[in-house]
Amino acid sequence: MEKASVEQTPKIHLGWVAVLALSGLLITALAFGGRFVPGIGEDDLAVWQSILTNFGVGLLSAAVLLLFEPKFRKVVTDTVNTATAGVKDEVREAFQADIDERLAPLAERIASLYKAKLADQEALVTDLADNFTYERVTQTLREADAMAALHAKSLRVQAEDVPGKLHISLQLRSFYSADAWLNGQPKRGAQPEEELVLSAYTNGGNDASVTWEPDEDFATVAFDLAEELASQGARGLKQQIIWDPVLARFEKNFKVALESSHGGDGVLGIDGAVVEVAGSDSAPWYLTNKGLYYPNQSWSLPAKSFVTAHRGYGHESRTFPDVEKPSWADPAEWNYMVSRARSHFDIF
């Protein structure tokens, strides 16, 4: 239907053009063809010639407009469309440029926040062993806990070459003061306090703990721990703890725990919040709240491999399945880590 109407339109226009043009010519010719009304005066003749001439020229003009109107309309339409398209493109480009300008700084600001956070964490643990202060250790434990990198705001490392002989832990404990309790519960609105605790665990099962006060340097706290061990008969004062490698292990494994919590490529293959690190410094074992890991062999076992809970008849029992030692595992390291894993997962 649209095609038929398009084809008929030129024919209708040409017919009307011919009628208008002929009419205009005849009327114009009549105006100057002589006296068309007998007896008309000179003044009246001039008036009628002017009227007929204007009318004839008007008809001729209408014929010309009618003839060229489709082309004129097309030119105008094309011009308007082109101009409109240009304006649309310009508006679209300007709008996109504005969006890009707004989003680019936003993306940069977000990326800078990530970068700054990671840089702050790295700075927090860098050279920690050389500047082992109450403030830095506390901040590190808090940051690691905020990233779910450590279990219970605590980290335990091996202090002697033989696994199980001596291990040291740092923990930031939360507690309520004596006047914050009421009927066995913390008072409403009471805020917990924090204490930094340094602990030692020996192969005889003895352990000792001392509180690290904010105004104490580490040397004082380390000696207090040695005295506490001696008072329990676990380790004599002549068996001095060599602290340099211990502090280096704390620094290294705080960093490992934080980096592992970030996820992504290039991090150590461990999962979960770190509980303890033991074994050699070059190939350590990692106990986390999700299992036992030995990244050097890309090996791991989940928590359920060490303790199995059985529920029924209103009681619960637990068994400790046998775990086969890998052929590459050092027997002393393996025995200690399996024992620690069972002990840790047995409380859950």
Is 122 a residue whose pLDDT tops 60?
A: yes
Place of tokens 């500047």: 131
Tell me the C-alpha distance between 156 and 140, whole Å: 14
Percent of the chain with pLDDT strictly greater than 90: 51
Span 81-110, average pLDDT: 68
190: pLDDT strictly greater than 80: no
| Contact assessment for residue 157 and residue 165, using Cβ atoms and an 8 Å cutoff | no
Token pair, residue 111, equals 């990326």
- More confident: 287 or 59: 287
Q: Which of 203, 192, 336 is nearest to 277 (CA)?
A: 336
Specify the pLDDT at position 5. Answer: 45
Give per-residue pLDDT as tens, 254-266. Answer: 999 999 998 876 5
pLDDT band with cut points at 50, 70 and 90 for residue 1: very low
**pLDDT single digits (tens) 324-335:** 999 999 999 999
**What is the pTM for the complete model shown?**
0.69
**Strand, coil or helix: 194:** strand
Q: In the structure, what pLDDT confidence band is assigned to residue 6 with cuts at 50, 70 and 90? A: very low
Distance separating alpha carbons of residues 212 and 261, to the nearest angstrom: 27
According to the model, what pLDDT value does residue 106 have? 78
In terms of DSSP bridges, do strands 154-158 and 274-279 run parallel, antiparallel, or are they unpaired?
parallel
55 CB neighbour count, 10 Å cutoff: 16
Q: Please enumerate in sequence order all residues whose Cβ is within 8 A of that of 91, keeping only pairs 6 or more positions apart, or say none.
A: none
37-78, pLDDT tens digit by residue? Answer: 555 666 566 666 666 666 656 666 666 666 666 665 665 566
Is the per-residue pLDDT at 208 higher than 70? yes
Q: What percent of the chain has pLDDT over 70?
A: 66
- For the ranges 92-106, 237-251, 295-309, the maximum mean pLDDT occurs at 237-251
- Mean pLDDT of all residues belonging to the chain: 82
Instruction: Select from 312, 319, 315, 313 the least CA-distant residue to 346.
Output: 319
Question: Is the per-residue pLDDT at 9 higher than 50?
Answer: no
Q: What is the DSSP letter of 161?
A: S
Residue 32, pLDDT above cutoff 80? no
Average pLDDT over residues 315-319: 70
The residue that leads in pLDDT, 273 or 68, is 273
Half-sphere exposure of 90 (CA within 13 A, CB side): 6
Length of the chain: 348
Q: Is 185 exposed, middle or buried (0-12, 13-18, 19+ CB in 10 A)?
A: exposed
Q: Positive or negative CA dihedral for 169, 170, 173, 179?
A: positive
